């Protein structure tokens, strides 16, 4: 039966790396009978490799106004495109991590999934949901880093303590409850749960593990960019705090946000090496995981059933981050240095562009002047 594989995240489980891999290997995957289409929809500041975006995204025009009719148009066009792709391919892969969040945090997400299911029934294809799950403590800390880094909500100035005390407002950590909603909609037999844990990855690789869902092996015929691992990487805890303070200082446009992200990520590896720490203490981590121990056990048995726990217990805990740590001054110096260096490089680049433009403009006049004086 024709199958739509819908990879829905969860967020912070290497989704961007998987999407880039599938996009870069579109032709290779199609040779194996799995098509990862590039849809023509354009969303501001969203990557074209997120081909499942139309299933959940809100659409804003250049003025920043939401266009609901455009959302409906893209959704319907996307469903129509899927039906047309099935005329050529037996298997289609769509991916967008926002679907997981939309399904459980926004009423609109549930409605759209209902519409997708109806379309599948009328067009004669089945839907398989692929979802990666990450340890709740790791996901909670990673999402805080993301929230501060990307300015993805108006809560991008909250401290870790404020966030941790009210984390249910920002993330859904009861994965069993979320999976139950998916099960009720698509059936438990159509839910493919994978662990976001290198210990459980096939061959120790996330990409190889994802291909294993389709019975494919990662070999030399696939293109793998070394930069996949660098996509959407976290900032160090000190860099995160610097960005949080910057967020509370002034509003920034998307280009300014990305420039700060680049600077902060550039020195984050050194920052983490000098001060390996975590926003969450070992005791906090243990207490959090205890809250979800029973539901995690049920997920492992119902959705994976390989005799192993859902998550590895061999986690190496780091020292809890402290705002007044002695390494903060060094990181502030690194940030200032990188900011200045970035500005200097931009000025040099602009100077070179101006020189090149001047040469282009002056060249015809030089030729004319040369002809005049030599005639």
User: How far apart (Å, rounded) are the C-alpha atoms in residues 242 and 317?
Assistant: 23
CB 4 within 8 A of CB 79: no
Q: Going residue by residue through the chain, which has 375 residues, state the pLDDT in tens, using 9 for 90 and above.
A: 999 999 998 999 999 999 999 999 999 999 999 999 999 887 777 888 999 999 998 888 877 788 889 899 999 999 999 999 999 999 999 999 989 988 766 667 788 999 999 999 999 999 999 999 999 999 999 999 999 988 666 788 999 999 999 999 888 999 999 999 999 999 999 999 999 999 999 999 999 999 999 999 999 999 998 877 667 788 999 999 999 999 888 778 878 888 888 899 999 999 999 999 999 999 999 999 999 999 999 999 999 999 999 998 888 899 999 999 999 999 999 999 999 988 898 898 888 888 888 877 766 655 555 555 555
pLDDT at 232: 73
301 preceded by cis ω (within 30°)? no
Q: Among 39, 4, 29, 69, which Cα is nearest to 222's?
A: 29
| Full set of structural domains in the chain with CATH | 1-133+197-232 (3.40.50), 135-171+236-301+313-375 (no CATH)
Contacts of 206 (CB under 8 A, 6+ apart): 14, 17, 18, 196, 198
Q: Among 142, 132, 135, which Cα is nearest to 312's?
A: 135
User: How far apart (Å, rounded) are the C-alpha atoms in residues 262 and 246?
Assistant: 14
User: How far apart (Å, rounded) are the C-alpha atoms in residues 21 and 28?
Assistant: 11
User: How far apart (Å, rounded) are the C-alpha atoms in residues 225 and 368?
Assistant: 50
pLDDT at 370: 55
3-state SS class at 132? strand
Q: How much is the pTM? A: 0.89
3-state SS class at 278? strand
Sort strands 91-95 and 34-35 into parallel, antiparallel or unpaired.
Answer: parallel
First to last CA, the chain: 80
Q: Among 332, 358, 216, which Cα is nearest to 263's?
A: 332
Q: How many CB atoms lie within 10 A of CB 117?
A: 13
CB 270 within 8 A of CB 333: no
List the Cα angle 180/184/190 in 5-degree steps.
90
Q: What are the φ and ψ backbone dihedral angles of 370, each rounded to 5 degrees?
A: -65, -40
DSSP-derived letter for residue 66 is B
Q: Which helix (H) or strand (E) element contains residue 127?
A: strand 126-133
User: How far apart (Å, rounded) are the C-alpha atoms in residues 177 and 180?
Assistant: 5
């Amino acid at each position: 039966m024709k199958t739509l594989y819908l990879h829905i995240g969860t967020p912070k489980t290497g989704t961007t790396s998987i999407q880039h891999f599938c996009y870069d290997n579109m032709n290779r995957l199609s040779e194996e009978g799995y098509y990862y289409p590039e849809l023509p929809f354009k969303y501001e500041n969203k990557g074209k490799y997120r081909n499942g975006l139309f299933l959940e995204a809100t659409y804003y025009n250049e003025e920043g106004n939401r266009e609901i009719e455009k959302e409906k148009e893209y959704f319907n066009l996307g469903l129509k495109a899927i039906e047309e792709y099935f005329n050529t391919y037996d298997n289609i892969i769509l991916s967008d991590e926002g679907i997981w969040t939309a399904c459980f945090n926004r009423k609109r997400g549930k409605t759209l999934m209902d519409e997708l299911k109806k379309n599948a029934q009328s067009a004669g294809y089945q839907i398989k949901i692929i979802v990666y799950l990450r340890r709740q403590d790791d996901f909670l800390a990673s999402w805080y880093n993301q929230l501060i880094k990307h300015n993805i909500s108006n809560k991008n100035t909250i401290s870790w303590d404020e966030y941790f005390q009210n984390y249910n407002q920002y993330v859904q950590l009861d994965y069993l409850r979320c999976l139950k909603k998916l099960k009720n909609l698509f059936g438990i037999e159509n839910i493919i749960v994978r662990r976001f844990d290198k210990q459980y990855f096939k061959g120790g690789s996330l990409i190889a593990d994802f291909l294993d869902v389709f019975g494919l092996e990662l070999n030399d015929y696939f293109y793998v960019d070394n930069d996949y691992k660098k996509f959407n990487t976290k900032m160090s805890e000190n860099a995160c705090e610097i960005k949080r303070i910057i967020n509370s200082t002034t509003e920034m446009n998307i280009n300014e946000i990305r420039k700060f992200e680049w600077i902060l990520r550039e020195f984050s590896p050194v920052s983490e090496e000098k001060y390996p720490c975590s926003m969450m203490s070992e005791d906090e981590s243990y207490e959090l995981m205890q809250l979800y121990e029973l539901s995690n056990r049920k997920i492992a048995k119902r959705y994976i059933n390989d005799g192993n726990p859902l998550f590895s217990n061999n986690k190496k805990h780091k020292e809890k981050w402290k705002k007044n740590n002695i390494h903060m001054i060094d990181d502030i110096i690194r940030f200032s240095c990188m900011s200045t260096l970035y500005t200097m490089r931009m000025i040099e680049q602009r100077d070179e562009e101006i020189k090149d433009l001047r040469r282009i403009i002056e060249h015809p006049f030089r030729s004319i002047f040369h002809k005049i004086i030599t005639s």
